[in-house]
Structure 1
Amino acid sequence: MSFQSIPGQERVKRILQNSLRTDKVSHAYIFTGQHGTGRRQMALAFAQALYCKVRVDDACGECLDCRKVEHGNHPDLHWLKPDGASIKIDQIRELQKQFSYRAGVSGLKMYVLENAETMTVQAANSLLKFLEEPTSRVVAILITENGNALLPTIRSRSQWVPFVPLSRELMVATLLAEGHPAVLVHPAVRLAAGTEAARELVLGNRFAEIRSLVIQLARESLTRLPTSMLTAQQKLAKSELSDQLPLFMDMLILWLKDMVQLCLGYHDELVYADQTDWMNGQALNYDMKHWVRCMELAIELQKRLRFHANPQLVLEKMLMQLKGV
């Protein structure tokens, strides 16, 4: 994997490639940013570039070392993930044991910690000692969604590399070029910070089903409220889709934003563009303040769900608000 094969994150690429060109690679990096912004792919590309025997500031993808990194069997690269809910001290100790052996021809050993913020206190303290007193030439990458959750002493000994959300236009173009349906791509890129996360949503088993359910319940609540209550109970609150209720609320909020846009007379960049005809008629049946109030309630109910509010009551309240009851 080369740097250029990763969409976006141009500043990150410049930082890493410049360190390779000038031979000033840091001993530790913190790749911090939201899920799906390309942190893992960038770590893999950086590892390939470090071990590549052909190119100086990127991976050729063809040499033996590049292929070993890509296939996960390079002897000097160690990739560590949480054991259950956390990275434990025994994992760090095993890593230190592996690093006590001599590195290969490159003389460089590298390790990548995914979800580094899940390290236990004991594991973090053990890693800190490892960072302070490496036994050989070592490069570490700590991948995390929240770099501030790491020990201050770890942060101070590492180079901070922030990953920013990708532009929506870039994500849309990439996913459409891959052949994914536009009706799923447009909501996905608004719910995800990067192409990888948006792709996961589009390919998810329930994503298309939840989108259809949002449209169905919105239609029914505005025209046949009792029917919508029954549909919500049968298809969402008390079915195998009940664990998808947070996603349903996310998708409903996107629909409500479209209704506000239609009230204002804007028809461009709608998430539910394929539903514009009936949505436009319903949007204009109400004052714009109605749709804003609905959106505010949806956001509030979404918060309540995190604290285990009753799903059926949440849905009923939302559907009644849509109707204006």
Structure 2
Amino acid sequence: MPTNNDVLTIAEQRQPVLVQHFKNVIKKNELAHAYLFAGPNGSGKEELAMWIAMRLFCINLQDGQPCGKCEECQRISQREHPDVLIVEPEGNSIKVDQVRLLKSEFSKSGMEGNKKVFIIAGAETMTASAANSLLKFLEEPSGNITALLLTTNPNLLLPTVISRTQEMEMQPLAVNELQSQLESAGVGKHLLALTSRLTNSPDQAAEWLVDDWLGQTAAAVWQWESQLLKPDMSAFVTVGTTLVPLAKDRPHQRIVLDIILAGFRDMLLENIDHEKFVMSFPSHRKDLQELTTRYSKKQLVDVTDLGLQSKQLLERNVSFQNVAESLTLKAFNVLSK
């Protein structure tokens, strides 16, 4: 969670539509008792929640905007305001005792006024008992209380929790803003286009950079795809020797297939109109231009479709090696027609 007044600027930059929405809602005194903010890390949901808290307590509002400098705003940003309570996972989850503490606070009147705000970050990590414990408040709110639940994955929340809130989906980051965040997370310029196609989360991208996993995987996928296009049957061997070791678990396997699809997209768009698209593999543009000229649009569309089918097979618990080897053979068959 943010801890300084930069939250105001970040909220405005990353979620300008929602900031304006909440300006209007608060001005009309129509704020709901519970919201669910859903979006990837870095999308500005934490900052938006803090903006709302500051807006409700700020004593020096400027055109509906909290000043960020008054005592109330400062105490909120420093997590010292008695009527703004922030709950985050302890370890890997939010536990029932944390929610019980929340409920005890819910039952009290505001320490310094008649408003209270609760921010529950990582709401998807609530244990089942914690989520069930929270339900009573969400079903029967009392007093001037606003709960803001933040999640990267609403699918992991109990449907009963979601149904008691107003769900707000964070707007995707603008490309330049996302790429700026990715660079700050350590993503090299040669991987920016590919990474921004794979995720909106700088935190997730940073995880892929450990031991240069993303760089090695991008290089391995390009090696495999260039072998397909030559065509060179050693692509089948590359699956077992290079791709499989990098696809070490199901999440990484999904990303490897997403990188393969990004490469297929480059192949197809290079064939259709090579001047009007941003490549996922820009350093290989010249090679790709040479390799795709021998194929028809239909062939490349069919290969891309095979890649999409491979993702479906992986989700049916077919092993990654079988999926990738089958994709290789089927793609060879299409490209050799």
* TM over 0.5, shorter chain: yes
- Corresponding residue for residue 296 of structure 1: 305
**1:112 Cα deviation after fit:** 2.1
**Is the counterpart of residue 92 in structure 1 residue 96 in structure 2?**
no
**1:212 Cα deviation after fit:** 1.8
Say if 1:2 and 1:59, in contact at 8 Å, map to a contact too: no
Say if 2:59 and 2:70, in contact at 8 Å, map to a contact too: yes
- CA–CA distance in 2 between the matches of 1:147 and 1:211? 29
**1:129 Cα deviation after fit:** 2.8
- Corresponding residue for residue 258 of structure 1: 266
- Corresponding residue for residue 127 of structure 1: 134
**1:153 Cα deviation after fit:** 8.4
5+ unaligned residues in a row in structure 2: which ranges?
1-5
Whichever residue aligns with residue 201 of structure 1, its letter is A
Of 214-223 and 300-309, deviating more is 214-223
**1:80 Cα deviation after fit:** 3.2
**1:282 Cα deviation after fit:** 0.8
- Corresponding residue for residue 171 of structure 1: 178
- CA–CA distance in 1 between the matches of 2:236 and 2:50? 49
Q: Secondary structure at the match of 1:104?
A: coil
Whichever residue aligns with residue 54 of structure 1, its letter is N
- Corresponding residue for residue 316 of structure 1: 325
**1:14 Cα deviation after fit:** 1.0
- CA–CA distance in 1 between the matches of 2:253 and 2:162? 38
Aligned counterpart for 1:112 among listed residues 119, 128, 142: 119
- Corresponding residue for residue 181 of structure 1: 188
5+ unaligned residues in a row in structure 1: which ranges?
none
- Corresponding residue for residue 198 of structure 2: 191
**Is the counterpart of residue 207 in structure 1 residue 214 in structure 2?**
yes
Say if 1:225 and 1:319, in contact at 8 Å, map to a contact too: no
Q: Secondary structure at the match of 1:143?
A: strand
Coordinate RMSD, CA, aligned: 3.5
- CA–CA distance in 2 between the matches of 1:87 and 1:305? 31
Aligned counterpart for 2:67 among listed residues 56, 60, 70: 60
- CA–CA distance in 1 between the matches of 2:161 and 2:46? 23
- Corresponding residue for residue 307 of structure 1: 316
Give the TM-score, by structure 1 length.
0.80
Aligned residue pairs: how many?
320
Whichever residue aligns with residue 169 of structure 2, its letter is P
Say if 1:87 and 1:116, in contact at 8 Å, map to a contact too: yes
Against the structure 1 CA distance between its residues 247 and 132, is the aligned structure 2 distance closer, same or farther, given a 3 Å change threshold?
closer
Of 14-23 and 83-92, deviating more is 83-92
Say if 2:14 and 2:173, in contact at 8 Å, map to a contact too: yes
**1:306 Cα deviation after fit:** 2.2
State the identity as a percent. 25
- Corresponding residue for residue 10 of structure 2: 5
Say if 1:228 and 1:319, in contact at 8 Å, map to a contact too: yes
- CA–CA distance in 2 between the matches of 1:175 and 1:99? 38
- CA–CA distance in 2 between the matches of 1:249 and 1:303? 10
Q: Secondary structure at the match of 1:232?
A: helix
- Corresponding residue for residue 27 of structure 1: 33
Q: Secondary structure at the match of 1:258?
A: helix
- Corresponding residue for residue 235 of structure 2: 228
Cα offsets for 1:42-89 (capped at 9, x unmatched): 113222333334335334333444344334444333333467887565
- Corresponding residue for residue 248 of structure 1: 256
